[in-house]
Amino acid sequence: MKIVQILPRLSSGGVETGVVDLSLRLVKLGHNAVVISNGGELVKQLEANGIKHYTLPVHSKNPLTVLRMMPAVKKILEEEKADLLHARSRVPAIIGYYAARSAGVIFVTSCHGYYSKKPFSFSRVMGWGKLVIAISQVIAKHMMDDFKVPFRRIRLIYRGVDIEKFRYREPDESAKGEYTIGIIGRLSPIKGHRYFLRAVSKIIKSVPRVKALIVGDAPPDKERYKQELESLVNRLGLSRYVEFLGRRSDIPDILARLDLLVMATTVPEGFGRVIIEAFAAGVPVVATRVGGITEIIRDGENGFLVSPEDPQSMAEAVVKVLKDRKLAKEIAQRARKDAEERFNLDRMITETVRVYEEALEVKRILIIKISAVGDCVLATPSIRAIRREYPKAYIALLIGRVESQALKGCPYIDEMIIYDRKGRDKGWLRFLELAGEIRRYGFEEVVDLQNNSKSHLFAFLSAAPHRYGYSKGRYWFLLNRTIKDINLSIPPVDHQFRVLSMLGIEGAPKNLELWPSAADIDNVKKMLEAEWVGENQTLIGINPAASPRWATKKWPAENFARLCDLLGEREVRTVLIGSRSDADAEAGEAILSLARSKPINLIGKTSLPELAALMKRFKCLVTSDSAPMHVAAAVGTPFVALFGPTDPERHLPPSENFAVVTRNLRCAPCYKPVCSDIRCMREIAVEDILKTVEGVRTAK
C-alpha cells in the first residue's frame, strides 16, 4: 500500500509523533509512506529514514489557500500513485477530502479531540472518511452524537507508545524524601497549569523537598497565559520549587527524571498520550477525571483520578503516591503492563494497517430499487451479480417498505434501507432527511436500478463518487456513469444487466430468487390444512387482480370463475391470491360470487414471503402481468401469463416453464392504464387458458 498522511505541521506533539511512528513502521512492513504538512522539526526524522515529505501550507485557514491546496494535493496523490489519504486534522482534512475524491483515492480520518459543533466549522469533515478512526470511546461517542457519524464507520484505535524508547524504572521504595514531579503539554488554559501550581503550593507543606517541572511552551496566541503562570509562581512563593523547561523533544529523558506525572486538563481530552508514555517509563500518574483519560487510568489500580479544577484533591493524591513508595511501585508495575499490552505501538500499527486494508478492500455499494414488488423480485439477479463481483463489499439496498418484504432473507445484501414513501417518509422534508442519513453511510458506488427522478436524487444526494444508471428521466444528469436507454424490447433482467455492464459485470445468471423462511412455509401449511387441503391435492393459483392503476391488465371476473369451475371438474382446487388492497379483495369477492366450485380465498391473507412459500405448492399459476408472475418464476412454479396492454418481451421474468396468452391486436401493446374497450383482455377465451394450463402443468 502507498499511504499518504496529511496534517498541519510536523512539530513536537502527540499527533505529530504518531504520524512519524506510523510512517516508520509502515516502511518496515513493506509499505510506502508519504507525509504532507507545513513542515517542522520532525521532518528531518522522516527524511533520514527515506520517507518523502511535501511541505505545503495545508495548515492555513485562509479560504483562498485552502482552495489552492486542493489541486496541489491532488497532484501529489496522482504522482505518488497513492492508495489512501489519511487526514489527521480539520483544515488538512477539508483539503484532503476534495483532493482524494477528485483523484479517486480512498479517504480516512483520525479524530484526536473534541471538535466544534458550529454549523459552518471545518469540524464536520472529520466524519467524512470512509472509515473514521477514534482514539478513544469518548471521541467515538462525540463523533456519533454530535456529527452523526454511523457506528458502522467508526474504528476505535487507542494510541500506542514505542516501549523501546522508554527506559522502565520502578519507583524506589527506599527513597529519602526528594522527589521530582512534572506536567507535560502545551501551555494553554485548558491544560490546567494554574491548578497544578496551586496543588504544588499544598504539596510542599507535606513533602517539602519537591521539584516541579513544567514541560511545554505557549503557542503564539497564548504568550500572555505563560506570563500569568510565571506571575502565579511568584505570588505562591514557588520560585525555588518550579522550573519552566519550555518545549522539549526529549520526553523519554524528562520522564526518566520524574517520580510522578500530573495531567491537570480541565476539559475532556481525546486520549492523553503522555500518560501512556509515563506508563512505559514506570512513572505513576495522577490525572483529572475527564474524557478519554478515564479509559486509560483505572483509579487506584494503574494511576489515580481526581476532579478537574480541584487543587486540594490533586495535592492529596500526589502526596499519597510520593509517601507510599510501595503503592507507587505497584501502580507503576500495573501501568507498565498496560503500556505493553493495551497501548503499545505495534498494536496501534497493526490495527491501523487493518483499517487501511478494510478501507481499500471493502467497497460500500448502494443499490436503489424502491418499487414495485415485481420489479424488486426482478432485481434479484442483479443484486446477486453485484455481490459475486464484490464478495467483500458492504452492500445496502434502498427499497420501499412493502417491497422490502419480498426480499426478506436475501443473502446478498448487508442491510436494507427502507423508504416508506407513503408513510413515515412522505413529503420532501423527510425525503431530504433520509437522503442525509444515506449520505452518512459513505457509499462509493450507487447502482440505480429504479431510474426515476427520486432514485436519481437519492443517488446524487448520497455523495457517492460513482453513480450508475440509465440516461433517462428528468434528473438523469445527476448520475455520472450512464448508459443510453435504447428503445428495444428486451427482457427486464437483461435491461438491468446493461447498467451492470458499466461495472464490468457480464454473463451473470438470470434466474430469480426468493427466500421464504421455515416459519413462512409452516404458516402456509396451516392455512391449507384449515381449508382441508391434503398433501397430494393438486392446486392451481389464480391471481385475478393487477395494480389498481392498471385496469387494462384485468381479465373479466366471470372468466376467472368459469376457469375455476372447469378446473374443479378435473379435481383441481383453485386458490385465489392477491394483496391486501381493496381492489384485490373486490376481484376475489366477484369471482367467489360467480364460481360454483368455491375456490380457496387467500387474497390478503399472506405476507410476501408466505406468498412465495404458497406458490411452491401450486402446479401452475394463472396471472396477469403483475408481481405474482415474478414470484412464481422466482420459486420455480410454472405460470400462464395473460398479456394485453403490455409487451411480454419487456416484462416476462426468466423461467423454464411458462406460457403467454395474448391476442396480438393491432393496438397492443398500448401501455394505457385505462381503456373503454379492453378487447385485448376480453377476447382471451377461457378454453384457451384451460388448455394452456393443462399443457404447462403437465410439462416436464
Q: Please provide the DSSP assignment of 545-599 as one string.
A: ---TT-GGGPPPHHHHHHHHHHHHHTT-EEEE---SSHHHHHHHHHHHHH-SS--
- Domain residue ranges in the chain: 2-156, 163-341, 362-503, 518-698
Shortest CA distance to 24 belongs to which of 351, 346, 360?
346
In single-letter form, the type of residue at position 512 comes to: L
In single-letter form, the type of residue at position 304 comes to: F
Q: In this structure, what are the phi and psi dihedrals at residue 488, rounded to the nearest 5 degrees?
A: -125, 145
Residue 675: half-sphere exposure toward Cβ, Cα within 13 Å: 21
In the chain the first and final C-alpha atoms are separated, in Å, by: 55
Sign of CA dihedral 349, 351, 352, 357: positive
Sign of CA dihedral 277, 278, 281, 282: negative
Q: What is the largest CA-CA distance in the chain?
A: 112
Q: Which region, left, alpha or beta, applies to residue 599 given φ > 0 means left and ψ of -120 to 50 means alpha?
A: beta
Q: How far apart are CA 611 and CA 584, in angstroms?
A: 14
Task: Supply the pLDDT for residue 11.
Answer: 83
Query: Are 87 and 109 in contact, with CB atoms under 8 Å apart?
Result: yes
Place of cell 440505480: 448
Task: Supply the pLDDT for residue 186.
Answer: 87
Output the nine-digit C-alpha cell for 262. Answer: 500530573
CATH of domain 362-503: 3.40.50.2000
Superfamily of domain 2-156: Glycogen Phosphorylase B; (3.40.50.2000)
pLDDT digit string, tens, across residues 55-104: 999 999 999 999 999 999 999 999 999 999 999 999 999 999 999 999 99
Peptide linkage before 372 cis (omega within 30 of 0): yes
In single-letter form, the type of residue at position 375 comes to: D
Neighbours of 284 (CB within 10 A): 28
Place of cell 510522578: 260
Q: How far apart are CA 327 and CA 456, in angstroms?
A: 66
Task: Supply the pLDDT for residue 695.
Answer: 87
Q: How far apart are CA 156 and CA 140, in angstroms?
A: 7
Query: Are 620 and 609 in contact, with CB atoms under 8 Å apart?
Result: no
Query: Are 146 and 117 in contact, with CB atoms under 8 Å apart?
Result: yes
- Residues of the chain short of pLDDT 70, as ranges, are 120, 173-176, 699-700
Pseudo-torsion of CA 257, 262, 268, 273, nearest 10°? 20
Superfamily of domain 163-341: Glycogen Phosphorylase B; (3.40.50.2000)
Same fold, 2-156 and 163-341: yes
b/e map 607-643, b = 16+ CB within 10 Å: ebbbbbbbbebbbbbbbbbbbbbbbbbbbebbbbbbb
**Residue partners of 454: CB distance under 8 A and separation at least 6:** 370, 421, 431
Task: Supply the pLDDT for residue 173.
Answer: 67
Output the nine-digit C-alpha cell for 607. Answer: 405476507
Q: How far apart are CA 489 and CA 476, in angstroms?
A: 21
Output the nine-digit C-alpha cell for 119. Answer: 454549523
Query: How long a stretch of residues is the chain?
Result: 700
Place of cell 385485448: 680
**Residue partners of 49: CB distance under 8 A and separation at least 6:** 23, 24, 27
DSSP code string of 63-80: HHHHHHHHHHHHHHHHHT
Q: How far apart are CA 412 and CA 497, in angstroms?
A: 17
Give me the architecture of the 518-698 domain, per CATH. Answer: 3-Layer(aba) Sandwich (3.40)
DSSP code string of 433-479: HHHHHHHTT--SEEEESS-SHHHHHHHHHTT-SEEEEES-STTGGG-
Output the nine-digit C-alpha cell for 482. Answer: 450512464
